[in-house]
Amino acid sequence: MSKQYSVGLTTGVFDVLHPGHLNLFENCKKVCDKLVVGICTDEYSIRYKNKKPLFNEEERLRIVSSLKSVDSAFIVSIDEVEDKTLILDRCRFDVLFSGSDWQGSERFAHTQAQFDEIGIDIVFFPYTAGISTTDLLDRKRL
C-alpha cells in the first residue's frame, strides 16, 4: 500500500536515543514508504551545538539503522546539513521531516524556498515536550 510520500528524509545528531526521537521516526514512517535518516557528523555537533556526542557518528548510525521504522541511514556532512538539496544526489527524497521546534526558523525558511522550487515538501511533527538529549544529560540521578 502506497503512503502519502515515497521517500522521506530526516536528519539529526540523534545522540542518546530517546522517546522523542522514536516519536519522530514513527510519525515519519506512517506517511512515507521508505524512511531515510541522515546522521550528523561529530564535527557538526561540536561546531554547531557545542557538544561532543556521547556516541560517535558510526555508533549513532548503527543504533538508528537498527530501528524498525528506519529503512536506511547514512552520515551527512556539515554541507549537507546546511543545504539539504546536496543530499538529493545520495537519496531521491520527496519530503523532508523535522520536529516542530525547527518550524519558522531561518534555516527552514531557506530550505523551504529551495524545496518549493524543486517540488519537495517539508512536514513538521510535534516536538515531544519535556524530553531532549540535553535535558537527559543534564538530569541528576538520585
Q: In the sheet that 95-99 helps form, which strands lie side by side, from edge to edge? A: 72-76, 32-40, 5-12, 95-99, 121-125
Annotated catalytic residue: which of 51, 52, 84, 140? Answer: 51
Q: Are strands 5-12 and 95-99 parallel, antiparallel or unpaired?
A: parallel
- 3-state DSSP assignment of residue 111: helix
What is the rounded distance in angstroms from the CA atom of residue 9 to the CA atom of residue 1?
19
Nearest alpha-carbon partner for 60 in 8, 13, 9, 11: 13
Instruction: Specify whether 51 is catalytic.
Output: yes
Annotated catalytic residue: which of 29, 30, 34, 49? Answer: 49
Instruction: Specify whether 49 is catalytic.
Output: yes
What is the rounded distance in angstroms from the CA atom of residue 11 to the CA atom of residue 97?
8
| Residues annotated catalytic, as ranges | 49, 51
